[in-house]
Structure 1
Amino acid sequence: MTLYIRRESSKLWKRFWSEIATEIGLLAENWKYLLAGIICQYIHGLAAKGVHYIHLPGPTLQDLGYFLLPELGQERSYISETVFTSVFVSFFLWTFHPFILKSKKIYTVLIWCRVLAFLVACQFLRVITFYSTQLPGPNYHCREGSKVSTLPWPKSPLEVLEINPHGVMYGCGDLIFSSHMIFTLVFVLTYQKYGTKRFIKLFGWLIAFVQSLLIIASRKHYTVDVVVAWYTVNLVVFCLDKKLPELPDRTTVLLPVISKERTKEENHKLLLNGNGVDPADWRPRAQVNGKIDSNGVHTDNSLNGA
């Protein structure tokens, strides 16, 4: 039993370090795309913070989702955040599964390049949308009378460039469309294409639907914010997926490439051993119907009148 455990652990370590070497090579080739995607995440955060400065609290707009779904209340707003965090962490860990599991279908670096491309495109559209029209935030800290519904004007340029995690959770004004749904749908769509477990795919879509309802019930977004996210993210991912180069399939077994020099050497060894084939035998042979003779000249050996 102990020998079996040692043997399996040794295989696991070899697989782990082999995967690291492969991913490092891919990272050296694609680090610019990853860095650009991370910088765009920071810019998106700055844009969301900027719209908070000009947010004007007001009465909550009439919303169909608010009539149909019961309000969870401020004390239960953590439920939607817990679901979103679970989705984010689960997807993040899944992208690193090739380091441990044998069933390898993706490369971690390449899948994150693709995911970041989807996120950046959706967030670009999101920034344009919520700067075009500022809606009064329905969240509790964005309503009239709240001290944090509008940010005080910055006192220095450095303050503008700072992103406070507290501000990310309690932002106002960046409504259409939901950032939480962008991440959730991009993750679900990515697993839908590159994942292998059917029940997880179905469960992912169920979680995305439940997440939509929880966001509305928590009054973090209007229903239109969620609806726009559903069709916008799906369309963006569909269009970009057609333009981006397809990821290499790791399940495909590649045949070894044999060079011409190696083939000549092997034929020479066979001839020396007496197992070779006479080069004269490589000439075209006469077919049964007499179409080609040994000299490659077309003939017709069929009987006259046949």
Structure 2
Amino acid sequence: MTLYIGRETSKLWKRICAETTAEISLLAENWRYILAGLIFQYIHGLAARGVHYLHRPGPTLQDVGFYLLPELGQDKAYISETVFTFVFLSFVLWTFHPFIFKTKKIYTVLVWCRVLAFLVGSQFLRIITFYSTQLPGPNYHCREGSKLARLPHPQSVFEVLLINFPRGAIYGCGDLIFSSHMIFTLVFVLTYQKYGTKRFVKQVAWLIAVIQSFLIVASRKHYTVDVVVAWYTVNLVVFFIDKKLPELPDRTSGLSPLLLPMSVKDKDGRNKEENHKLLNGNSVDSSDWRLRTPVNGKILEDGNNPHDNAMNGA
């Protein structure tokens, strides 16, 4: 038993080392995209804090979701955040599963490049919309009488640049249309829908996304319109950006990462047809490109006919 555990531990360690080497190589090629996506996450947080300075509390707007869904109350508002945290952590762990499990279909770095592209596209549109019109926040800390409903004027630039994460994100006001929680949830679910392998998990993920939508409205963190707009906007953003990005290599083909097209730029100078042959396990050796002519049921190379050779004295 001890010997078996030792062998499995050794295999797992070798797998982690091999995976780390491959991911570091990919990170060296794509670090600019990862860095740009992370920087934009800060910019998005900075924009959300900035609109909080412009927020003015007022009467809660008429909302069909508020009529249909009972209010959870401040003591149960944590339920929505708990579900979102579960979705977030589950997705992050799934993107790193190739380091542990043998059945691996994705490369972690390439998946996060794609996810960050989806997030940036959606968050860019979100910044435009919530700066266009500031609505009175329906959340408890954004209502009239709350000390957090209005932010005092900043005393310095550093006070604005330090977005006070995560408290600043949790107790923000004014960044309503459309829901940031739904952006992350839908991007994660759509990504797993395309690259995940478990059908049951996909179905559960969509169910959780729907439940998350209702919980956001029931906890009065957003108006119903914020959730509705997120559903079709994020899906459209993912659809169009996904069309523009190069497709991820499928690791189930069993090919080495060096033979797979990791980006639009093909370092080996192979054309698309050659890459297609590589992905299908066919040889693309230049020696196989010679013209072959069938003669009497046999394949002759370069179109050389034995009768012609005999006539030429060969």
What's the secondary structure of 2:152's corresponding residue? Answer: coil
Q: Do structure 1's residue 32 and structure 2's residue 32 form an aligned pair? A: yes
Q: Aligned partners of 1:206, 1:37: CA distance in 2, in Å?
A: 28
Equivalent position of 2:80 in the other structure: 80
**1:128-186 CA distance string (max 9 Å, x none):** 00000000000000001111101011111111100112111100000000000000000
Q: Where does residue 304 of structure 1 map in the other structure?
A: none
Residues in 1 aligned to 2:295 and 2:146: alpha-carbon distance in whole angstroms: 94
Give the C-alpha shift of residue 259 in structure 1: 6.5
Note the C-alpha offset of 1:294: 3.1
| Equivalence map 1:1-306=2 (5 Å) | 1-164=1-164, 165-254=166-255, 255=281, 285-287=295-297, 294-295=306-307
8 A contact 1:286–1:294 mirrored in 2:
no
Aligned-partner SS, 2:252: coil
1:277 corresponds in structure 2 to none
Separation (CA, whole Å) in 2 of partners of 1:86 and 1:8: 30
Q: Distance in 2 between matches of 1:97 and 1:83?
A: 21
Structure 2 Cα separation of the partners of residues 243 and 44 of structure 1? 23
Classify 1:2/1:136 alpha carbon distance in 2 versus 1 (closer, same or farther; 3 Å): same
Distance 2:10 2:297 in 1: 58
Q: Which runs of 5+ in 2 are unaligned?
A: 256-280, 299-303, 310-314
Asked if 2 retains the 8 angstrom alpha-carbon contact of 1:115 and 1:186, the reply is: yes
- Partners of 1:19 and 1:256 lie apart in 2 by 25
Query: 3-state SS of the aligned residue for 1:190?
Result: helix
Runs of 4+ in 1 over 2 A off after TM superposition: 253-261, 282-288, 292-297
Q: Name the larger-Rg structure.
A: 1
Q: Distance in 2 between matches of 1:45 and 1:125?
A: 14
In 2, the alpha carbon distance for the partners of 1:144 and 1:52 equals 14
Q: Which deviates more from structure 2 when the two are superposed, residues 121-130 or residues 250-259?
A: 250-259
Letter in 2 for 1:286: N
Amino acid at match of 2:99: F
Q: Percent identity?
A: 73
CA distance in 2, matches of 1:283, 1:136: 78
Query: Secondary structure of the residue that 1:295 maps to in structure 2?
Result: helix
Distance 1:287 1:222, change over 3 A: closer
TM-score normalised by the chain length of structure 2: 0.84
Instruction: Provide the residue aligned with 1:278 in structure 2.
Output: none
**Do the aligned partners of residues 295 and 123 (structure 1) sit closer, same or farther apart at CA in structure 2, a change above 3 Å counting?**
same
Corresponding residue of 2:270: none
- Whether the aligned pair in 2 keeps the contact of 1:118 and 1:186 (CA below 8 Å) is yes
Q: Distance in 2 between matches of 1:172 and 1:78?
A: 17
CA contact (8 A) 1:284 1:295 kept: no
Contact residue 215 and residue 221 of structure 1 kept, 8 A:
yes
Q: Compute the displacement of 1:118 (Å).
A: 0.2
Residue type at the aligned position of 1:202 = Q
**1:72-101 C-alpha deviation (Å, 9 max, x unpaired):** 001100000000000000000000000000
Q: Distance in 2 between matches of 1:10 and 1:257?
A: 34
Change (3 A) 1:293 1:152: closer
Mapped to 2, the partners of 1:7 and 1:287 lie a distance apart of 54
User: How far is 1:253 from its partner?
Assistant: 3.3
Whichever residue aligns with residue 16 of structure 1, its letter is I
TM-score normalised over the length of structure 1: 0.86
Residue-by-residue CA offset, 1:188-240 (whole Å, 9 max, x unaligned)? 00000000000000000000000000000000000000000000000000111
**Cα distance, 1:257 vs structure 2:** 6.3
Alignment check: 8 A CA contact 1:285 1:294 kept: no
Cα separation, 2, equivalents of 1:78 and 1:117: 29
Q: How far apart are the structure 2 equivalents of 1:178 and 1:260? A: 54
